[in-house]
Amino acid sequence: MTAHTPSAAQTVLVEDIARVVEDVPGVAFLRPGLAARLRSALSRPDPGAGRTPTAGVRLTPGADDTAGWHVDVHVVVVRRARAVDVARAVRSAVETHLALRFPARPGARVRVTITGQV
Amino acid sequence: MTTHTDPPEGARADGDDESLPCGRPLSRVWDDWERQTDDPHTATCPHCRTAVDDLALLESAVRGLREETPDPSAHDAEPLTRRVMDLVRLELRPGRPLPLGEPAEDLWIMETVAARVLRAAAETVEGVRAGSCRIVDADGHEGGAVEVRLDIHAPADAALRPLAERVRQRVREAADRELGLVTASVDIRVTDLVDVRAEGREGDTA
């Protein structure tokens, strides 16, 4: 596995994608997400307060600027929603977001994994 | 184009869980922290430290919830703690990823999450208790279908064939309707017969 340091722009993009994912109906939160939710629920001092947890989003840029993004999303979904429908909606939301942000790039490859139901 | 023969990185059968950017599996880092293992890597690695900080915060948050519960009768706090820790455990050891939807969609669900839904579906058949539920990629099946192997305890007085067929039906329906998992086969194995009437009478006599 290659360990690379993401650029500041990439970090912002990951946060954007995390927000997009969390807004998809049927998504409970991003993995792991639970610790952050508990923290905010308890209003404990937290240096990352107000920021969307991004551990459930991995973004790998393509080989160069002409290649598409590769996005790996891990989410916990709500029980009453059909898992595959939520996963498809997440993929579609991320693809749309990236297509709008980077109209010149080819389409992103988005993989969605459901890691829990609440 | 990715196909379903290419499971998500960091969730391979040998690892079964997420790896940090430093290469360590998250579960190992958290396990080490819980056992207070002395490890120079964890002490200095920023990724491991962040992961441990998250767990420490979670633990203190859960403990805080328990302490701050207005009615301190551990009655209410325990189930919450258990539910939270169940979810954390699920996040750490989710099993293997299974394909969702159509072939090559690159959508996945962790086995433990799917198994929980299918076991619950089986238990909607009266008197049935679900045991082990394994879900694996269907061998030689085109695309993303899975094979379900479910153990059940059945009522002793039930006709087993029709009962197993009802359970199979419920499991198939739940796999499709609640998850979107395509089932190539559902094998039901009756591992025990339970005398429901005897269980019902328990407590009547000393």
Query: Which tens digits make up the pLDDT trace of A29-42?
Result: 887 656 555 555 55
CB contact under 8 A, B11 and A72: no
Q: Which of B68, B91, B116 sits opposite A34 (nearest CB)?
A: B91
Angle, CA A83 vertex, CA A103 and CA A72 arms, to 5°:
40
Chain B's closest residue to A39, CA to CA, is: B61
Contacts of A9 (CB under 8 A, 6+ apart): none
Q: What is the CATH number of the domain that holds B185?
A: 3.30.70.1350
- Please give the average per-residue pLDDT across B95-108, as a whole number: 88
Check pLDDT > 90 for residue B122: yes
Calpha distance A47→B88 (Å, rounded)? 22
Which one has a higher pLDDT value, A45 or B159? B159
- Average confidence score pLDDT of chain B: 77
B7 contact A CB<8A: no
Pair (B43, B87) in one structural domain: yes
B49 contact A CB<8A: no
Q: Which of B21, B68, B91 sits opposite A31 (nearest CB)?
A: B91
A8-117 is classed CATH 3.30.70.1350:
yes
Q: Give B67 to chain A, closest Cα distance, Å.
A: 12
Check pLDDT > 90 for residue A60: no
- Please give the average per-residue pLDDT across B147-155, as a whole number: 96
Check pLDDT > 50 for residue A94: yes
Does residue B113 lie in a domain region? yes
Does residue B17 lie in a domain region? no
Looking at residue A112, its amino acid is V
Pair (B126, B71) in one structural domain: no
Contacts of A116 (CB under 8 A, 6+ apart): A28, A31, A76, A77, B87, B90, B91, B94, B110, B113
CB contact under 8 A, B106 and A3: no
Which one has a higher pLDDT value, A108 or B75? A108
CB contact under 8 A, A34 and B62: no
Task: Output the pLDDT for position A38.
Answer: 56
CB contact under 8 A, B100 and A83: yes
Check pLDDT > 80 for residue B94: no
Choose the final residue of a domain: B44, B67, B92.
Answer: B92
Task: Output the pLDDT for position B133.
Answer: 93
Q: What ipTM was assigned to the predicted interfaces of this complex?
A: 0.81
- Average confidence score pLDDT of chain A: 81
Chain B's closest residue to A42, CA to CA, is: B61
- Please give the average per-residue pLDDT across B120-149, as a whole number: 88
Contacts of A118 (CB under 8 A, 6+ apart): A28, A76, A77, A78, A79, B87
Band (A15; pLDDT cuts 50, 70, 90):
very high
* HSE (side-chain half, CA atoms, 13 Å) at B178: 20
Contacts of B52 in chain A (CB under 8 A): none
Task: Output the pLDDT for position A5.
Answer: 60
Count structural domains, chain B: 2
Does residue B15 lie in a domain region? no
Whether B147 and B118 have beta carbons less than 8 Å apart is answered as no
Check pLDDT > 60 for residue A4: no
Choose the final residue of a domain: B51, B75, B92.
Answer: B92
Check pLDDT > 60 for residue A46: no
Whether B187 and B156 have beta carbons less than 8 Å apart is answered as no
Pair (B145, B104) in one structural domain: yes
Pair (B157, B142) in one structural domain: yes
Chain B's closest residue to A114, CA to CA, is: B109
B143 contact A CB<8A: no
Whether B185 and B150 have beta carbons less than 8 Å apart is answered as no
Does residue B4 lie in a domain region? no
Choose the final residue of a domain: B92, B126, B144.
Answer: B92
Which stretch, A95-104, B6-15, B38-47, B134-143, has highest mean pLDDT? Answer: A95-104
Pair (B102, B164) in one structural domain: yes
Q: What percent of chain B lies above the pLDDT cut of 70?
A: 65
> Of B111, B108, B120, which is closest to residue B173 (Cα–Cα)?
B120
Domain membership of residue B161 as a residue range:
97-198
Residue A49 dihedral angles phi and psi, to the nearest 5°: -55, 140
Calpha distance A117→A32 (Å, rounded)? 12
Q: How far is CA A42 from the centre of its chain?
A: 24
Does residue B192 lie in a domain region? yes
Does residue B44 lie in a domain region? yes
Pair (B105, B69) in one structural domain: no
Pair (B163, B86) in one structural domain: no
B194 contact A CB<8A: no
Lowest mean pLDDT among A113-117, B7-11, B136-140: B7-11
Does residue B35 lie in a domain region? yes
Pair (B66, B122) in one structural domain: no
Does residue B169 lie in a domain region? yes
Check pLDDT > 80 for residue B117: yes
Task: Output the pLDDT for position B82.
Answer: 64
Contacts of A102 (CB under 8 A, 6+ apart): A69
Pair (B181, B135) in one structural domain: yes
Instruction: Report pTM.
Output: 0.67
Contacts of B100 in chain A (CB under 8 A): 83-84, 87, 114
Task: Output the pLDDT for position A56.
Answer: 86
Task: Output the pLDDT for position B130.
Answer: 94
A&B contacts, CB < 8 Å? 111
Looking at residue B29, its amino acid is V
Which stretch, A43-47, A74-78, B93-97, has highest mean pLDDT? Answer: A74-78
Tokens encoding A85: 């429908």
Q: What percent of chain A lies above the pLDDT cut of 90?
A: 42
Chain A's closest residue to B83, CA to CA, is: A118
Check pLDDT > 60 for residue B69: no
Pair (B84, B119) in one structural domain: no
Tokens encoding B2: 């990715």
- The CA dihedral of B43, B47, B51, B53, to the nearest 10 degrees, is 60
Check pLDDT > 60 for residue A117: yes
Task: Output the pLDDT for position B3.
Answer: 46
Which one has a higher pLDDT value, A115 or B180? B180
Whether B131 and B152 have beta carbons less than 8 Å apart is answered as yes
Using CB atoms within 10 A of its CB, is residue A2 exposed (0-12), middle (13-18) or buried (19+)?
exposed
